[in-house]
Amino acid sequence: MLIDRTNGLISIARQAALLGLSRSAIYCEPVVDTYDIELMRLIDEQYTKTPFYSSRRMVVTLRGIGHEVNRKRKQRLMRVMGIEAIYPKHRLSKANPGHKIYPYLLSDLEINRNNHVWGTDISVPQQAA
């Protein structure tokens, strides 16, 4: 593509050096495994249906339709495809240091009778599906 093999003035080695490539990268032909392409197509179809499936569940699904694949291969293919399971990640409840921390105003109050302290909830209720 960027290497001109017919150029008599600049050698291929020099062209590779100018592009920041090794010479072996120029001569290397990528090997495409057709079975990996088929697995990636199946993974993409299943991921479209169920984006929350983990690598373990995806392997069970692929084995269920007759493809013997281990979890590491499936993880590698998902990494190549740039997809991952959608699920809550770690540290979701970690407080943002920029947010104001409101004081608890009832800490020094002794609550000793009914209706002394009231509370309310302003959240929006979930509607039934």
Crossing angle for the helix pair 34-49 and 55-64, to the nearest 10 degrees:
110
Q: Does residue 21 lie within any of the structural domains?
A: yes
How many folded domains does the chain comprise? 2
pLDDT of residue 14: 87
Confidence label for 37 from pLDDT (cuts 50, 70 and 90): very high
Both 26 and 46 in one domain: the answer is no
- Look at residues 63, 81, 99 and tell me which one is the last residue of a structural domain: 81
Q: Are residues 39 and 9 in the same domain?
A: no
Can you say whether the dihedral through the CA atoms of 61, 62, 68, 72 is positive or negative?
A: negative
* Together in a domain, 39 and 72: yes
Give Cβ neighbours of residue 112 (< 8 Å, ≥ 6 apart). Answer: none
- Residue 40 sits in the same domain as residue 76: yes
pLDDT number for residue 129:
57
The mean pLDDT value for 4-27 works out to 83
pLDDT of residue 2: 77
Q: Is residue 124 part of a domain?
A: no
Q: How far, CA to CA in Å, does 116 sit from each of 29, 113, 121, 122?
A: 79, 6, 17, 20
Token digits of residue 50: 């169920």
Write down the pTM of the prediction. 0.51
What does the pLDDT read at residue 113?
92
- Span 43-90, pLDDT tens digits: 999 999 999 898 889 999 999 999 988 999 999 999 999 988 888 778
- What CA–CA distance (Å, rounded) separates 104 from 66? 59
* 38 and 25 both lie in a single domain: no
Q: How many CB atoms lie within 10 A of CB 75?
A: 16
Range of the domain at 73: 34-81
- 73 vs 58: CA distance, rounded Å: 11
Q: What is the pLDDT of residues 90-128, one digit of tens each?
A: 877 788 888 888 888 888 899 999 999 988 877 777 766
The answer to whether position 39 is within a domain reads yes
- 86 within some domain: no
